[in-house]
Structure 1
């Protein structure tokens, strides 16, 4: 059996078109980072567009690729929890299947954990970051992250960038306390990691907005509510 150092996870829901690019690009990047010592886990979350079948065929021909299929929709956070729990690497990372964050940063992300950090996260809001997105998304992102910093006391700049790596053992220590099942997972993991005094490296990245990505009023309301719920759990329920 191959010794695995790095487990990379692609969270997927009806992303067949993106997968056709993301899998070969991922294998190329990972081979340069951890030659023959990595696995690519596709956490496929109840897709109906043939994503599971595509990955299953890829898996048959390339043992470095693993399909982790769910018949029912779990949500991004629960799908990631399941993938990380079943990963074989001592370092785990994940990134969005549309490769919005430039893959040139993956070596630096994994390298930060190799260098002793408990976690590393891409940031679109550091001065050195280069981003391409609409004005509406930019305003919403900066407003959201300001609220997280103000209300939850975070020292980080960007909490929702889908480009993160962890020491697997340290991440698994956190997961039982993480309650977010979908998009807020990214923020809650970073807040709880800081609360537990984990060493976190925030890295500037080159990032571009994916096609068809929009900000809806109900998304903004839900994310604001999620911040307040986590504050309540941390400061009132002490959980």
Structure 2
């Protein structure tokens, strides 16, 4: 049985086009930074566009690719919980399948955990970060992260960047307390980790907005509601 140090996870939902580029690019990058052994887990979440079949083909050609399929739609948070639990590596990471964060940052992400941190997270909102996205999403992102810092007491700048790594044992011990099952998972993990004294490093990344991303009024309402629900759980329910 081959030894695995790093388990990289790609959360996927109807992302066939992005997968065609992300899988070979991931394998090439991981070969360099994890020569001791790695696996690429595709957490495929109820896709209907042929993503499942494509990943299964890749899995048949390369044993380092691993399909983790769900017939039902889990949501990103639950899909990541499932993938990290099933992972074999002592370091687990995930990044968005559209590779919005430049893959040249992956070595730094993994090395941060090797150097003793519990969590590493890319940031689009540090002064040294380089980002390309629409004005609407920029305003929404900055507003959201300001609310997280103000209401939930986080010291981090960017909670939702889809580019994170964890010591597997440390993230697994935290997951039972995390209730978010979709997009808010990232924020809740980082907020709860800070409250539990985890060593977290946030570093600047180069990031570009993916195709077809827009901000709707309901998104803004959902963001505010999720923040307030977590505040209630932390301060009233004491969960």
Specify the TM-score bucket, using the shorter chain as the normaliser: over 0.9
Q: Is residue 110 of structure 1 aligned with residue 110 of structure 2? A: yes
Hey, what's the Cα distance between the residues in 2 that align with 1:74 and 1:205? Answer: 28
Q: Is residue 227 of structure 1 aligned with residue 212 of structure 2? A: no
Q: Please name the residue that 1:14 is paired with.
A: 14
SS at match of 1:166: strand
The size of the alignment, in residue pairs, is 239
- Name stretches of at least 5 consecutive residues in structure 1 with no aligned partner: none
Q: Is residue 58 of structure 1 aligned with residue 58 of structure 2? A: yes
Contact 1:102 1:205 in 2 (8 A): yes
- Give the TM-score normalised by the residue count of structure 2: 0.99
Q: Please name the residue that 2:120 is paired with.
A: 120
Q: Please name the residue that 1:84 is paired with.
A: 84
Q: Please name the residue that 1:95 is paired with.
A: 95
Hey, what's the Cα distance between the residues in 1 that align with 2:217 and 2:165? Answer: 30
SS at match of 2:3: coil
Hey, what's the Cα distance between the residues in 2 that align with 1:22 and 1:236? Answer: 42
Contact 1:2 1:36 in 2 (8 A): no
Change in 2 beyond 3 A, CA 1:36/1:53: farther
- Name stretches of at least 5 consecutive residues in structure 2 with no aligned partner: none
Q: Please name the residue that 2:209 is paired with.
A: 209
Hey, what's the Cα distance between the residues in 1 that align with 2:179 and 2:7? Answer: 23
Q: Please name the residue that 2:31 is paired with.
A: 31
Contact 2:38 2:64 in 1 (8 A): yes
Hey, what's the Cα distance between the residues in 1 that align with 2:87 and 2:116? Answer: 20
Contact 2:5 2:36 in 1 (8 A): no
Contact 1:11 1:44 in 2 (8 A): yes
SS at match of 1:198: coil
SS at match of 2:35: coil
- Give the TM-score normalised by the residue count of structure 1: 0.99
| Distance apart, 1:35 and its partner CA | 1.4
Q: Deviations over 1:25-71 (max 9, x none)?
A: 00011111011500000000000000000000100010000000000
Contact 1:101 1:163 in 2 (8 A): yes
Give every structure 1 segment of 4 or more consecutive aligned residues whose post-TM-superposition deviation is greater than 2 Å.
none
